[in-house]
Amino acid sequence: MTEVRYPRFKVFMIFILCPLVPGFVAGLINSVLLVAHIATHPRLIGEVHGAEILLMPLLTPLVAVLGFFLPLFGLALGVSLLKVRRSARSCNALALLGAALATGWVSLFIHEVVTHSERARYEGYWLGLFVVFLAAFVTCWSTARLFLPKKSRAPHQ
């Protein structure tokens, strides 16, 4: 009986690219909010170009992948080297780990902003950190659930 090889490269690439989906959703939401803001403030019509609004859903996922590359590189490397298989426990653990990594990564940037600005305070960022945690949790869980290989059953003898 042949043993199925673990798809390390596929798993690695999927976890590296998992910020594409929430980045696309964030780009769509920002585009709609920008159009709504322009519609309620007509004096801004000449300030924003149509190409900016149209390219936002396409460029935001790329910025998300670049922004979260280092923490997700570590997560993807760990998952592919440890040959993690799909199970409820592994999906939940990866979701918590990915959400903690993403939130910690954003917290580093927030810390830099707060320490170098007299007006910025941590209290203004809690909602954003919660959204990052929630988006990363859902994204990592669904990525693990959809793309990790199933656990192989031991053959009966």
| Helix residue ranges, H only, the chain | 8-16, 20-40, 50-67, 69-82, 88-115, 126-147
Flag whether 104 is in a domain: yes
Flag whether 153 is in a domain: no
The pLDDT score that the predictor gives to residue 120 is 83
Average pLDDT of the segment spanning 24-52: 85
pTM: 0.86
Q: Contact, 95 vs 144, CB < 8 A?
A: yes
Flag whether 126 is in a domain: yes
Flag whether 2 is in a domain: no
Average pLDDT of the segment spanning 123-145: 95
Flag whether 130 is in a domain: yes
Flag whether 123 is in a domain: yes
Flag whether 19 is in a domain: yes
Task: Report the share of the chain in percent with pLDDT over 70.
Answer: 95
The residue segments making up the domain with residue 68 are 8-147
- What total of structural domains would you count in the chain? 1
| Residue 127 structure tokens | 């909602």
Flag whether 152 is in a domain: no
d(CA 46, CA 38): 10
